[in-house]
C-alpha cells in the first residue's frame, strides 16, 4: 500500500452556458407577480439562452429567503418541468443566490452532475428588513453586540446602522468624507440608466443623492438598496456537456469561486468594518486570485455587494483594488466607472437594480466570483 498522504481528485472545469433574469420590481406594486411566475421566467430564459431542454438538467439548487419550505419545488414544477431531479433549497441571507451557484458548481466540479440549474428568487415585503421569529435567538445577536458596545443601537432599522457605522468608523480611521460614499450612490444610479432590468433607472446629481431622505445618519435613501421582487437563473455545465451539446461558443468558465463565513476578527477586534465582513471578503478574494492566477489588474468589470454605499467602498479595499484606507482615493480618481481602471456595478448595483435576496449575490457569507478576460472554451 502507498504511504503517500491522501490527495483529493482533481476538480472538473465548470462553465456557465445560459442565464436569465426578470426585471426587479418594487414589492406590492400593482403589477407585482408571485414567485413561481418570476422563477419560471428566469428559468425559461436561462434554458432558452443555453438552447437545452429542462430534461437535460441533472439537479437544481434554488435560493430564496422569505418563504415556506420547498418553494423551490413549486417554482420549478409547473413552469420548467417535473423530471424527478433533486431540488435543493438554499437560504443564506444576502448570499443566497451566490450559495445556490456555489453548490451547483461543486456538484459539477466533483463529478456528481453534468448540468445543474442555479435559480434564485424573492418576493419581499415593503420597507426595511425585520425579524421574522421573535421567540428565538436571532442569528446576528453576536454581531449586534459588537455594534452596541462601540456605538450603541437606536430604533432605526438595524442594517443601515451596521453599515452606516462601518462607514463612520472608516471616516474616523482614514479621513474618508461623506461625499465619497455619496459619489458611489451617484455612480450606481448613473449606471442603472442602461439596465432595463433595474428596479430604478433614474439618474441624480450628487447634490440630490446627498439631499435625499435620510435613512440613518449620513446614509440617504439613494445610497441604500431597496427591497425587491425578482428572479435570476444560470445553467452550469461540465466540459463534456458543453462539447456534447455544441455550446463552446457561449460557454464561460467560472475560473474561481470562494465562499467564506465569519472569522474570529468579526467579533474580537471591536471593529464594525470587520463585523460587517471585511476580513472574510478579503480572504475570499485572496483565494480567488490565487486559484485563478489573476490579479485585480487583470479584471475589467466587477459586480460587488453594494447593499449600502459604505459597503461598496469597503469592498474596494477587501478586493485589493487599493490599499486599506484608500477607497476614497479610488473614488476620487473615477476608477470605479467608465473611463477608469474598473467598471464597478455597471448594472446599477443593488442600490439601483434592487436586492431580491435569493436572486442577487451577497456579502453576509461572502462568496466571491472572478472571471478573467476571455474565459470561453476555445
User: Which CATH number characterizes residue 253's domain?
Assistant: 3.40.47.10
State the pLDDT at residue 301. 97
Domain carrying residue 79: 14-128+225-368
Which residue in 61, 71, 94, 288 is the catalytic one?
A: 94
The grid coordinates listed for 132 are 421574522
State the pLDDT at residue 134. 82
Comparing C-alpha atoms, which of 155, 149, 167, 132 is closest to residue 276?
Answer: 167
Residue 277 belongs to some domain of the structure: yes
Are 156 and 276 in contact, with CB atoms under 8 Å apart? no
Q: Which residue has the cell 456605538?
A: 151
59-63 and 87-90: which strand pairing?
Answer: parallel
Residues, the chain, total?
378
Those residues whose C-beta lies under 8 Å from the C-beta of residue 201, and which sit 6 or more positions away, are 192, 193, 195, 348, 352
State the pLDDT at residue 371. 40
Residue 1 belongs to some domain of the structure: no
State the pLDDT at residue 375. 45
Domains identified in the chain, total number: 1
State the pLDDT at residue 362. 53
In angstroms, the CA 138 to CA 133 distance is 8
Told to judge if 94 belongs to the known catalytic residues of this protein, a careful annotator would answer yes
H/E stretch holding 20 reads strand 14-21
Residue 165 belongs to some domain of the structure: no
Q: What is the pTM of this model?
A: 0.92
Q: Which residue has the cell 446599477?
A: 348
**Angle, in degrees to the nearest 10, between helices 278-292 and 309-318:** 40
Instruction: Locate all alpha helices (DSSP H) within the chain, ordered by sequence.
Output: 35-50, 71-77, 96-109, 141-150, 158-174, 178-192, 206-211, 239-244, 265-268, 272-275, 278-292, 309-318, 327-333, 349-353
Residue 183 belongs to some domain of the structure: no
Burial of 296 (0-12, 13-18, 19+ CB in 10 A): middle
Residue 360 belongs to some domain of the structure: yes
Rg of the Cα atoms in the chain: 21
Beta bridge partners of 367: 259
In angstroms, the CA 265 to CA 274 distance is 6
DSSP structural state of residue 281: H
Comparing C-alpha atoms, which of 24, 31, 43 is closest to residue 235?
Answer: 43
In angstroms, the CA 142 to CA 274 distance is 13
Cβ–Cβ contacts within 10 Å for residue 79, how many?
Answer: 17
With vertex at residue 87, the alpha carbon angle to CA 58 and CA 114, rounded to the nearest 5 degrees, is 20
Q: Phi and psi at residue 17, in whole multiples of 5°?
A: -115, -5
DSSP structural state of residue 248: T
Residue 157 belongs to some domain of the structure: no
The grid coordinates listed for 30 are 400593482
Burial letters 170-193, b for 16+ CB under 10 A, else e? bbeeeebebebbbbbbbbbbbbbe
State the pLDDT at residue 366. 35
H/E stretch holding 59 reads strand 59-63
Residue 354 belongs to some domain of the structure: yes
Residue 218 belongs to some domain of the structure: no
Are 67 and 75 in contact, with CB atoms under 8 Å apart? no
Mean pLDDT by 10 residues, the chain (378 residues): 70 97 90 93 98 98 94 97 98 93 98 98 79 86 96 93 98 98 98 95 97 96 93 97 97 97 96 97 97 97 96 98 98 98 96 86 41 35
Q: Which residue has the cell 432558452?
A: 48
DSSP structural state of residue 167: H
Amino acid at each position: 500500500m502507498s504511504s503517500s498522504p491522501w490527495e483529493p481528485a482533481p476538480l472538473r472545469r465548470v462553465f456557465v452556458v445560459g442565464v436569465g433574469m426578470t426585471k426587479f420590481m418594487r414589492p406590492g406594486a400593482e403589477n407585482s407577480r408571485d414567485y413561481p411566475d418570476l422563477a419560471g421566467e428566469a428559468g425559461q430564459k436561462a434554458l432558452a439562452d443555453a438552447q437545452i431542454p429542462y430534461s437535460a438538467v441533472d439537479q437544481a439548487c434554488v435560493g430564496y429567503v422569505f418563504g415556506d419550505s420547498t418553494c423551490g419545488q413549486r417554482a420549478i414544477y409547473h413552469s420548467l418541468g417535473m423530471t424527478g431531479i433533486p431540488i435543493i433549497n438554499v437560504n443564506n441571507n444576502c448570499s443566497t443566490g451566490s450559495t445556490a451557484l456555489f453548490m451547483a458548481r461543486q456538484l459539477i466540479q466533483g463529478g456528481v452532475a453534468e448540468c445543474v440549474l442555479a435559480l434564485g428568487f424573492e418576493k419581499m415585503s415593503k420597507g426595511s428588513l425585520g425579524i421574522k421569529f421573535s421567540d428565538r435567538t436571532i442569528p446576528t445577536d453576536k454581531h449586534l453586540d459588537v455594534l452596541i458596545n462601540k456605538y450603541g443601537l437606536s430604533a432605526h432599522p438595524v442594517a443601515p446602522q451596521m453599515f452606516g457605522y462601518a462607514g463612520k468608523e472608516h471616516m474616523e480611521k482614514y479621513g474618508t468624507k461623506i461625499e465619497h460614499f455619496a459619489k458611489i450612490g451617484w455612480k450606481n444610479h448613473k449606471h442603472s440608466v442602461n439596465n432595463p432590468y433595474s428596479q430604478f433607472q433614474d439618474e441624480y446629481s450628487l447634490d440630490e443623492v446627498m439631499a435625499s431622505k435620510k435613512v440613518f445618519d449620513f446614509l440617504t435613501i439613494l445610497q441604500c438598496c431597496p427591497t425587491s421582487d425578482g428572479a435570476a437563473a444560470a445553467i452550469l455545465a461540465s466540459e463534456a456537456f458543453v462539447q456534447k451539446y455544441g455550446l463552446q461558443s457561449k460557454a464561460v468558465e467560472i475560473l474561481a469561486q470562494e465562499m467564506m463565513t465569519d472569522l474570529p476578527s468579526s467579533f474580537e477586534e471591536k471593529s464594525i468594518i470587520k463585523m460587517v465582513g471585511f476580513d472574510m471578503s478579503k480572504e475570499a478574494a485572496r483565494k480567488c486570485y490565487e486559484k485563478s492566477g489573476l490579479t485585480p489588474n487583470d479584471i475589467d468589470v466587477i459586480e460587488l455587494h453594494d447593499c449600502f454605499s459604505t459597503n461598496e467602498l469597503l469592498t474596494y479595499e477587501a478586493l485589493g483594488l487599493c490599499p486599506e484606507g484608500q477607497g476614497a482615493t479610488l473614488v476620487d480618481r473615477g476608477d470605479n466607472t467608465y473611463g477608469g481602471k474598473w467598471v464597478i456595478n455597471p448594472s446599477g448595483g443593488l442600490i439601483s437594480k434592487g436586492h431580491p435576496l435569493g436572486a442577487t449575490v451577497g456579502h453576509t457569507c461572502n462568496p466571491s466570483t472572478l472571471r478573467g478576460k476571455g474565459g470561453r472554451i476555445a
